[in-house]
Amino acid sequence: MEQPPSTGDRIVRRPRSREVVPVVVKTSPRRHPSRHFIPAFILFYSFSGLVLIGGLLLFLPFSSIDEGFTPLVLAYFTATSAVTVTGLTVVDTATYWTDFGKAVIFALMLIGGLGFTSLATFFLIVLGQRITLPERMLMRDTMGIDRLGGIVPLLRNIILIVTLVYVIGAALIWWRLHGEFSTGESIWQSAFLSVSAFNNAGFSILPDSMSLSLFFGDVPLLAVLAGLIVLGGIGWTVLVDVFRQHRFSRFALDTKMVIVTSMFLWALGAVVLFIAEFDNEHTLGASSLGMKTAQSIFHSISGRTAGLTTIDVSQTTQLHDLFYPLLMFIGGAAGSVAGGIKVATLAVIIAAVVSSVRGRLQAEAFGREIPHFQVHRALTVAALGMVIVFAICLGLTLTERSSNIPFLDLFFDTVSAFGTTGLSTGVPPELSVAGKVLFIITMLVGRLGPLTLALALTPRQESTVYRFVQERVKIG
Q: What is the pLDDT of residues 301-312, one digit of tens each?
A: 999 999 898 898
- Dump pLDDT digits (tens) for 397-454: 999 988 889 999 999 999 999 999 989 998 999 999 999 999 999 999 888 776 566 5
Which pLDDT value is given to residue 115? Answer: 61
What phi, psi does 396 have (nearest 5°)?
A: -70, -35
The residues near 304 (Cβ < 8 Å, ≥ 6 apart) are 233, 265, 266, 269, 324, 327, 328, 330, 331, 332, 338, 419, 421
pLDDT at 324 over 60: yes
User: How far is Cα 51 from Cα 77, in angstroms, rounded to an integer?
Assistant: 9
The pLDDT confidence band at residue 31, using thresholds 50, 70 and 90, is low
Domain boundaries, the chain: 34-457
**What does DSSP say about strands 363-365 and 368-370: parallel, antiparallel, or unpaired?**
antiparallel
Q: Helices 72-83 and 99-114: crossing angle, nearest 10°?
A: 40
CA dist list (Å): 207 to 96, 171, 180: 11, 20, 11
Give the CA count within 13 Å in the CB-facing half-sphere of 10: 2
Which of 296, 100, 310 has its CA nearest to residue 202?
Answer: 310
pLDDT tens digit string along 256-270?
A: 999 999 999 999 999
Residue 354, number of CB atoms within 10 A of its CB: 13
Spatial distance between the Cα atoms of 174 and 168, rounded to a whole number of angstroms: 10
